[in-house]
Amino acid sequence: MLLADPGAYAPGSLDVCGDPALRRYWLGLFRRHIRTVVAHVAREHPEDPELHLRMEHAAARFLDHLEAVEVDPAARFDTLTLCAERERCLRAAGVADPFRRTKERENAAALTLLPALLSELDGLPVPDRLDALVRGIFAGNVFDLGSPATAELFAKGGTAFHDVRNRLRPRPWLVDDLDAFRLRFDRGVSRALVFVDNAGSDIVLGMLPFAREMLRRGTHVVLSANATPALNDVTHEELGSVLERAAAGDATLREGLREGRLETISSGGGLPLLDLRRLDPALVEMLARTPPDLVVLEGMGRAVESNWRARLHADALKVAMLKDESVARFLGGTLYDLVFRYEPAS
C-alpha cells in the first residue's frame, strides 16, 4: 500500500550474510546483547527469581540459535531475522517484556520534562522551531537499549535529554535534507503517518513535540507503534497511555485527540525493525481509505536497517541517530552520526 515498488522491496538494507566480517560482527553483537538483557532483568525484577530462570532459558535458546547459524555457511539471516528469533525465544520461555519497567519509568520521567520543553519550543521563532524539534527527535532517540553503545550510555546516566541535545553533532549532518524538508513542511502536510521507535524521551520529548507541531499546522497525525514488545520500543498500548498523560497537560494534544486529528494505530509489528509488507490489517485498511502524504520512519531500525532503500508513494522522512558502528559505516559515517533524509514520493 505504501510501497512504490513492492516487488523490489526487501526489509533489509545490510547484506549481513554476504560479508564475513559483518556476519561475525552481528552474531557477536547479538550474543553480547542477550547477556545484557539477562543482567537487566535480574536487576529490574529482584523480587521474581522465577522470571530470572525463564530469562536465562530464553537467552540459552537464543545463543543456541546464534551458534547454529554461525556454523552453517548456508544460513541466511540478517538483523531483522535475528531480532525476530530473539523475541520468539523470549515469548517461548514466558518472558513477555524484559523492558516493561524501564519503559514505564522512562515514560514517567520524560512526561515531567514535557511541559517545560513545549514552552521552550513555543517560544522559538518558527524557522528555529523545526531545527529544535528535529534535534529533539535525535536526542530522544538515544534512549535505546538494543544497541550496546547506547545501553551502556544509559546505564551510566548519559542519555539525559537536554545534555544529549546540547552535544549532538552540528549540521550538516551525515544525511541532511532539513532545508528541503522545511520547504515541504511549510507547504503543508495534510496527513502524516509516523512510525515511532522507543519509549521514554524518544516518544515523549522527541516525537510528541514534532507531532504537536504538525497538529498546530493543521495536519492529521497518525502515530503507529509496535503491536508487541521489542526491546525498549514503545508499544501501541503504552503509546495510548503516554498520549493520554501528555494530553492532560497540553491543550493542542488534547484537542487533537478530541477532534480525532491525532490518532494512534498499531503497526502490527513486534521488532525494532519494520517490514512494510506486514502491517496490521487495520492500518492497511486506513492507508487505502486515507493515504498519508507524509510517512515518517523514525529510528535506526525502521529508517535505516530495514527501509533505507524503500521507495514510498508518499513523501518520506527517515530520521535516526546511528547507534551502531556497522550501520554508520553502511552510510559512510561513524557512531552517533545523524540522519535526516527527505524523499519526495516515488
Of 64-72, 91-99, 190-198, 325-333: span binding Mg ion (CB under 5 A): 190-198
Nearest CA to 140 among 184, 110, 170?
A: 110
Q: How far is the CB of 234 from Mg ion (least distance, A)?
A: 9
Q: Does 198 bind Mg ion (CB under 5 A)?
A: yes
Amino acid of residue 260:
G
Q: Does 229 bind Mg ion (CB under 5 A)?
A: no
Q: What is the Cα–Cα distance from 24 to 47, expressed in whole angstroms?
A: 37
Q: Does 197 bind Mg ion (CB under 5 A)?
A: yes
Q: How far is the CB of 275 from Mg ion (least distance, A)?
A: 15
CB count within 10 Å of CB 51 equals 18
Q: Which SS3 state, helix, strand or coil, does residue 220 take?
A: strand
Q: What is the Cα–Cα distance from 247 to 243, expressed in whole angstroms?
A: 6
Q: Does 272 bind Mg ion (CB under 5 A)?
A: yes
Residue whose grid cell is 535506526? 300
CB count within 10 Å of CB 195 equals 24
Q: How far is the CB of 233 from Mg ion (least distance, A)?
A: 4
* Nearer to Mg ion among residue 226 and residue 264 (C-beta): 226
* Nearer to Mg ion among residue 11 and residue 272 (C-beta): 272
Of 58-66, 246-254, 267-275, 329-337: span binding Mg ion (CB under 5 A): 267-275
* Nearer to Mg ion among residue 271 and residue 295 (C-beta): 271
Nearest CA to 198 among 115, 59, 301?
A: 301
Q: What is the Cα–Cα distance from 276 to 267, expressed in whole angstroms?
A: 9
* Nearer to Mg ion among residue 146 and residue 256 (C-beta): 146
Q: Does 293 bind Mg ion (CB under 5 A)?
A: no
Q: What is the Cα–Cα distance from 69 to 341, expressed in whole angstroms?
A: 34
Q: How far is the CB of 137 from Mg ion (least distance, A)?
A: 13
Of 46-54, 124-132, 187-195, 198-206: span binding Mg ion (CB under 5 A): 198-206
Q: How far is the CB of 77 from Mg ion (least distance, A)?
A: 20
Q: Does 275 bind Mg ion (CB under 5 A)?
A: no
* Contacts of residue 42, Cβ cutoff 8 Å, sequence gap at least 6: 52, 55
Of 64-72, 90-98, 195-203, 260-268: span binding Mg ion (CB under 5 A): 195-203
Of 20-28, 169-177, 231-239, 338-346: span binding Mg ion (CB under 5 A): 231-239
Q: What is the Cα–Cα distance from 226 to 266, expressed in whole angstroms?
A: 6
Of 25-33, 185-193, 225-233, 328-336: span binding Mg ion (CB under 5 A): 225-233
DSSP assignment of 273-322 equals S--TTS--HHHHHHHHHS--SEEEEESIIIIIITTTT--BSSEEEEEEE-
Size of the site for Mg ion (CB under 5 A): 4
Work out the end-to-end distance of the chain between its first and last CA atoms, rounded to an integer number of angstroms: 13
Whether the CB-CB separation of 143 and 163 falls below 8 Å is answered with: no
Q: How far is the CB of 202 from Mg ion (least distance, A)?
A: 7
Q: How far is the CB of 199 from Mg ion (least distance, A)?
A: 9
* Nearer to Mg ion among residue 207 and residue 247 (C-beta): 207
Of 18-26, 107-115, 193-201, 289-297: span binding Mg ion (CB under 5 A): 193-201
* Contacts of residue 57, Cβ cutoff 8 Å, sequence gap at least 6: 93
Q: How far is the CB of 74 from Mg ion (least distance, A)?
A: 30
- Within 312-341, the residues that bind Mg ion by CB under 5 A are none
Q: How far is the CB of 336 from Mg ion (least distance, A)?
A: 16
DSSP state of 121: H
Residue whose grid cell is 508513494? 313
Q: What is the Cα–Cα distance from 144 to 162, expressed in whole angstroms?
A: 16
Nearest CA to 270 among 53, 85, 61?
A: 85
Q: Which of 87, 106, 233, 275 binds Mg ion (CB under 5 A)?
A: 233
Query: Which residues of the shown chain bind Mg ion in the complex (CB under 5 A)?
Result: 197-198, 233, 272
